[in-house]
Amino acid sequence: MLNLPSDYMSAETRAEIQAELDVNRALLRSQGKLEPVKSGIVTFDWPLAAASWLDDPGVHGISNFVDQDPAFPNQLLDYNCGARSYDLSNGYNHRGIDFFTWPYGWKRMDEFGVEIVAIADGTILSKFDGNDDRSCGFGGGSWNAVYVEHSDGSIAWYGHMKNGSTTSKAIGESVVAGEYLGIVGSSGSSTGPHLHLEVYDGQGQLIEPYAGACNVMNASSWWTQQRAYYDSALNRLEIASAPPDFPACPQAETSHERRVFSTAETMYYIAFYRDQLAGQNTNYKLYRPDNSVLYDWLHSSPEPHYAASYWYWFWDLAGQPTGTWTWEATYQGQTEQRQFELVAPGNGDNDGFMDHLDNCMTVANPSQLDSNGDGYGNACDADINDDGIVNFADLNQLKLAMFSAVGDANWNPAADFDGSGTINFVDLLTMKTQFFGAPGPSAYAPL
C-alpha cells in the first residue's frame, strides 16, 4: 500500500512557536482583541471539508493519533490502546492527529480540493504561509499553519497547509467553527499531504481530542460527536479507463475517470475506502439502463486493517444496451452510486476522413460538448483547438467542416436533427452521415 503521511517538528521549533503564541496572546489581550478565558466546555467539530465541487462522500483517512507512550523508539500507544501512532529514535512522540487526503492527496492539493476548517469558534493567534508545500520527508523546513485560541483558552494548531492557501484573515480576527482556514498540503517536515492537528487545553497541556481507555492526557472526548476508532467508510467510487496512477512523491496522482464509455471499451470500476477491516463485505451491483442487474457480487479485504485502500474490477460491456448505467456499492450501511453513459462506438477507422469526430464519437456523450465531463478540452471534446473551452473558434471549425462543402456559409438551425435545442454529437453524427456519406477530397476540412 501507499505510505501514510507522518511528520516531525523538533522540540526547539515547537518551543519557538509556543513562545510566539504566548507573545501574541498577551498582545491581543492587551489590545482587547482576545476575550479573557472563560470557563465552560468547548467541543470540536470535524476539521476537514470537501471543496464544493468535489462530490466524493469521503476525502480523508487517519494515519496517526497522539502517541500516549513517552518511551521510544517504537513504543506506541494511541488513545484506544492500539498503535496507530509513531515515535522517532530522537525522542519525538507524535503530538497530534494526522488526517491525510484520500484518495489523490497531491492532486487534491493542486486543485484546492480538501479544506481545513476551524474545529471551534476562536481567535487567530498566529499563522504562517509562504513555505513550500511539496515536502516528501522530514527536514522539509517550516510549515504553513494557522493557530486558533478558543474561548476556554485551548489552542488548536493546524499544520502542513498548501502554500498560499491560509485564510486571508489576520492575527487577532475571529473565526467560527467550520470556517475555512486553509488547504491540506505537505509543507514543513511532512511525508505527504495531510493535516496535523495538535491541541492544547487551557492550561497549555497537550490533549488527544479522542477519549479512550489509554488516553492518559484527558478523560473525556473533546469532539462534539466522537467518531469510531475505525471510521470505516467508502470515500469514493470511480469509473475510469484505467486504474489510477500514484507516481513518486510529490508528483500529482492521475485519475483516468470518465463518465462516458463506448461498448468497445474496457472500463475500470474502482472503490476507495478508509479504515477497511477484514470481514467487512461490500455488495457491488451493476445496473443496466432499465435497472435490471447485470452483475451482483460481494468482496471483502483480507487485510486486518487498511487506513486507506482501493480495489478495482474491469470489463467491457460489449453487446449490452446503451444508455445510463449505474454502479452501486453498499458497505457498512453506506450506499454510493456512480452513473455512466454507455454509447455505441463510432467507426474510429482513422481513414483520414472526419477522424476527429469518428474517434470522439467512440466516447462522446451525445448530451454535452464536453464529452468526458472533465470540464476541460481534450482530443475527444468539441474543444477542437484544446484551449480549455468550447468556444466559437471550435464551432467555426465544426461549421467549416460540416457546411462549407455543401455551400452553406451560415449555421443552419435545421442541423438540430434530434430537436434537442442544441447542436450536439448526435446531430453531428447525423450531419456527417447526411453530408459526408463517403470520403471525398473536397468534402471536408480536417479538424
Is residue 193 within the footprint of Zn ion (CB under 5 A)?
Answer: no
| 3-state DSSP assignment of residue 15 | helix
Nearer of residues 194 and 258 to Zn ion, judged by Cβ: 194
Tell me the DSSP string of 78-102. Answer: -TTSS----B-TTS-B--SEEEEE-
Q: Which of 47, 58, 61, 96 binds Zn ion (CB under 5 A)?
A: 96
Q: How many angstroms separate the CA atoms of 206 and 172, rounded?
A: 23
What is residue 16's three-state secondary structure? helix
* Residue span binding Zn ion (CB under 5 A) among the ranges 12-20, 196-204, 296-304, 357-365: 196-204
Which stretch in 88-96, 148-156, 294-302, 357-365 sits in contact with Zn ion by CB under 5 A? 88-96
User: Is residue 87 near Zn ion by the rule CB under 5 A?
Assistant: no
Closest distance to Zn ion from the beta carbon of 319 (Å): 51
- Residues contacting residue 429 through CB under 8 Å, at least 6 positions apart: 346, 357, 361
Helix axis angle, 425-435 relative to 392-403, nearest 10°? 30
By beta-carbon proximity to Zn ion, the closer residue of 101 and 362 is 101
Task: Please report whether residue 84 would count as binding Zn ion according to CB under 5 A.
Answer: no
Cβ-based neighbours of 204, under 8 Å, separated by 6 or more: none
78 forms part of the interface with Zn ion (CB under 5 A): no
Contact flags string 306-345 toward Zn ion, x per CB under 5 A: ----------------------------------------
CB-nearer residue toward Zn ion: 134 or 399: 134
Question: Toward Zn ion, which CB reaches closer, 96 or 105?
Answer: 96
C-beta of 145 vs 369, nearer to Zn ion: 145
Asked if residue 5 binds Zn ion (CB under 5 A), the reply is no
Interacting span for Zn ion (CB under 5 A) from 98-106, 227-235, 245-253, 352-360: 98-106
Choose which of 98, 115, 257, 383 interacts with Zn ion (CB under 5 A).
98
* Cβ 342 vs Cβ 317: under 8 Å: yes
Q: Which of 134, 150, 162, 196 is close enough to bind Zn ion by CB under 5 A? A: 196
274 forms part of the interface with Zn ion (CB under 5 A): no
Q: Is 208 in the site for Zn ion (CB under 5 A)?
A: no
129 touches Zn ion (CB under 5 A): no
Give the residue with the Cβ less far from Zn ion, 61 or 96: 96
149 lies in the site for Zn ion, by CB under 5 A: no
Nearest-angstrom CA–CA distance, 138 and 128: 18
| Cα distances (angstroms) measured from residue 102 to each of 26, 97, 112, 233 | 39, 15, 14, 11
Q: How far is the CB of 119 from Zn ion (least distance, A)?
A: 15
Q: Which is nearer to Zn ion, 98 or 208 (CB)?
A: 98
Least Å distance, CB 96 to Zn ion, is 4
Instruction: Please count the residues of this chain forming the interface with Zn ion, following the rule CB under 5 A.
Output: 4
Nearer residue to Zn ion within complex by CB, 65 or 287: 65
**Which residue's C-beta sits nearest to Zn ion?**
196
Taking the complex as a whole, how short is the minimal distance between the CB of residue 5 and Zn ion, in angstroms? 8
Q: Tell the residue number behind the cell numbers 492518559, with chain if given.
A: 216
**Shortest CB 66 distance to Zn ion, Å:** 9
Buried b (16+ CB within 10 A) or exposed e, 370-384: bbbbeeebeebbbbb
Between 197 and 270, CB nearer to Zn ion: 197
> Would you count residue 115 as binding Zn ion (CB under 5 A)?
no
- Nearest approach, Cβ of residue 302 and Zn ion (Å): 29
Cα–Cα distance, 313 to 271 (Å, whole number)? 9
- Which lies closer to Zn ion via its Cβ, residue 8 or residue 331? 8
Give me the amino acid identity at 225: Q
Provide the minimum distance between the beta carbon of 193 and Zn ion in the complex, in angstroms, as a whole number.
12
Nearer to Zn ion, 95 or 108 (CB): 95
For 172, left (φ over 0), alpha (ψ -120 to 50), or beta?
Answer: left
Inter-residue contact 14 to 159 (CB < 8 Å)? no
Residue 7 touching Zn ion (CB under 5 A) = yes
Element containing residue 139 per DSSP (H, E): none
Q: In what order do the strands lie in the sheet with 233-240?
A: 233-240, 266-277, 305-316
C-alpha dist (Å) from residue 335 to 237, 283, 303, 328, 330: 11, 9, 22, 7, 4
Rounded Cα distance between 346 and 380, Å, is 12
Q: Which residues bind Zn ion (CB under 5 A)?
A: 7, 96, 98, 196
